[in-house]
Structure 1
Amino acid sequence: MRPDTDARQVTPLPDVMLEPQVRAALLEDLGRAGDITTDAIVPASLRTRCVLAARQKGIVAGLDMARLSFALVDPTLRFTMHAPDGSRIAPGDRIATVEGSARSILIGERVGLNYLSHLSGIASATDGVVHAIAGTKARVCCTRKTTPGLRALQKYAVRVGGGANHRFGLDDAVLIKDNHIAIAGGVSVAVERARRAIGHLVKIELEVDTLEQLKEGLRIGVDAVLLDNMPPPTLREAVAMVAGRAITEASGRVTPETAPAIAETGVDLISIGWLTHSVSVLDIGLDYAD
């Protein structure tokens, strides 16, 4: 089968951001003596061609990580993409071909597949929720519940899957959560302290558990409200209370099955932590082609 090459157009991350991660992963895998299995079995002069192929249907993400996994091992390897990031694939589809030294291909295989399978899993899961809420105005959004060191990559994969990104770290937006409110002594004092401390371009989002907290937050004024663990009827009431005065974001125990009812309440965003912290990989393999 041929992949659907009508891929989502997402700006790829530059190699300068990706290379340190791939290099560290390769060094971890090679250890102190290199690939002793491949060195013992595969002649140094042998050249071959292998295909990265889909075992499941889904969305491709992370091909540049796979490309770099081979290129850093051996710059003479030829890596050809057949299904760019954002492409829809089905079992048997060719994603990419790598040609050159058989030893080099086998050395880079696992690191490349680890990144490609993981990021494609995130993109595919995101795409599933995006399709589940199609026809509503809501957008699927990720969180900061990411694997340490992989945040930029995982958030990129969410974008490839059709989702949107929440803040990348603690320094690019204010998110006042329940513990901030408790320690500050209330919603109003927490928001007021935040507003005095930040620059004019920094937005403030307030997490609320109740409609009473929401009412207080709207009175003092915030840019966005995170409506945490509210059932759809309460979410609908919250959206009506906000009436366009702030961005509305729903979170808490969202699944592809529950997402449509949440989206139909009129919220702007639905944030989902499991998209990055516990999603399954997409099964992709490296097949010997010669």
Structure 2
Amino acid sequence: MNFTLNLSDVEALLREDVPYFDLTSSLLNLSSQNAEILFAPKEPVIVSGSEEVAKIFTLLDVATELIVASGHKALAGETVLKAYGNAEQLHMGWKVSQNILEHFSAIATRTRSMVEGANRSGKSVEICGTRKHLPGTKHLSLKALCSGGGSPHRLGLSDSILIFSNHYGLLGGLKSLCTDLQSIKARCPEKKVAVEVESIHDAITVAEAGADIVQLDKLSHESVRKIAEMLKQGGNGTTIAAAGGINDTNAEKYAAAGADVLVSSWMYFGKPADYKVVIRKT
């Protein structure tokens, strides 16, 4: 899955950093020089955002060479993107481009690490990123997630049904929800219904009531294994999603325990990737 910000959104990112012109470059009369700018990570990364960076330099009217597309690995020191032209224009695109590559390549790289961890279990497990990304970064965060081999857990509140304890607490509790679950499913038959629970007992209860997906919040991988074994013995086809505290260090254990989906926010938060940026005369 790959998608890129449209030109107007990319322009908004550029204008946020350069609302009028580059005062420093203008004072130094850099517009009289031709140069090139190169972006290369200092450590291996899964690249994300290189298409948006290419659009930034296109908006600045300089030639661009996109070398490593989003979703592909770049080695330490490998040039991901080059741009050629007016030195003042190159400086205008420098920092916003570096920010995009560093922040979103880091998300893609962490996601890939989690995917690889789950794959070591030998089982097919989907890695899903939550909606807990930084506000205003949804498009680029989801692109980075997909670039790393993950999938969006929920694109928003309008596309899926996930019933939390905050929901069924207002309806009289889990028992009341289970009583009404079939009628809830009947009102939206083309959608799967997921219910989040926090105990083995509640997981089995909602599965037996007909939940399509049981999301286990902050349960240990040992508990996930017990639930998976119990549902399998009962011939239940419920999908098991594990959420809460899952990252690349424990993804293999949760996958091996029998979770079908690992739900996480971990990939969104952490140290940005480190890109070296060089601007030189041509």
- Whether TM-score is above 0.5 comes out as yes
Question: 1:289 offset after TM fit, Å?
Answer: 4.0
Match for residue 80 of structure 2 among 78, 91, 95 = 95
Aligned residue type for 2:259: V
Q: Find 2:69's aligned residue among 84, 94, 103.
A: 84
* Residues 231 and 45 (structure 1), Cα distance of their counterparts in 2 relative to 1, 3 Å cut: same
Compute the displacement of 1:263 (Å).
Answer: 1.4
Alpha-carbon contact 1:138-1:270 (below 8 Å) kept: yes
Cα displacement string for residues 224-256 of structure 1 (whole angstroms, at most 9, x for unaligned residues): 111111112110011123335121111111232
Specify the code of the residue in structure 2 equivalent to 1:105: L
Kindly provide the amino acid, as one letter, of the partner of residue 108 in structure 2.
A
Q: TM-score, normalised by structure 1?
A: 0.88
Who is 1:131 aligned against?
A: 116
Q: Write the mapping of 1:153-232 to structure 2, written as runs, cut at 5 A.
A: 153-190=140-177, 192=180, 195=184, 198-232=187-221
Counting aligned pairs with the same residue, the percent is 26
Q: Deviations over 1:135-191 (max 9, x none)?
A: 222222110101112112211211111112211101100111121121111225336
Q: Is the 8 A contact 1:69 1:109 kept in 2?
A: no
Q: Are the counterparts in 2 of residues 228 and 252 from structure 1 also a CA contact under 8 Å?
A: yes
- Counterpart in the other structure of 1:281: 272
Q: Which residue of 2 aligns with 1:28?
A: 16
Name the SS for the 2:81 alignment partner.
Answer: strand
What is the TM-score when the length of structure 2 is the normalising length? 0.90
- CA gap of 1:196–1:54, structure 2 versus 1, over 3 A, is closer
Cα distance between partner residues in 2 of 1:29 and 1:120: 20
Mapped partners of 1:261, 1:182: distance in 2: 31
3-state SS of the aligned residue for 1:285? strand
Shift of the 18–113 alpha-carbon distance from structure 1 to 2, 3 Å rule, reads farther
Unmatched 5+ residue regions in structure 2? none
Task: Give the gaps of 5 or more residues in structure 1.
Answer: 1-9
How many aligned residue pairs are there? 274
Q: Which residue of 2 aligns with 1:63?
A: 50
Task: Answer yes or no: is 1:249 the counterpart of 2:236.
Answer: no
Q: 1:37: Cα distance to partner?
A: 0.9
How many angstroms does 1:200 deviate by? Answer: 2.7
SS, match of residue 136 in structure 2: coil
> How many angstroms does 1:198 deviate by?
4.8
Q: Is the 8 A contact 2:47 2:109 kept in 1?
A: yes
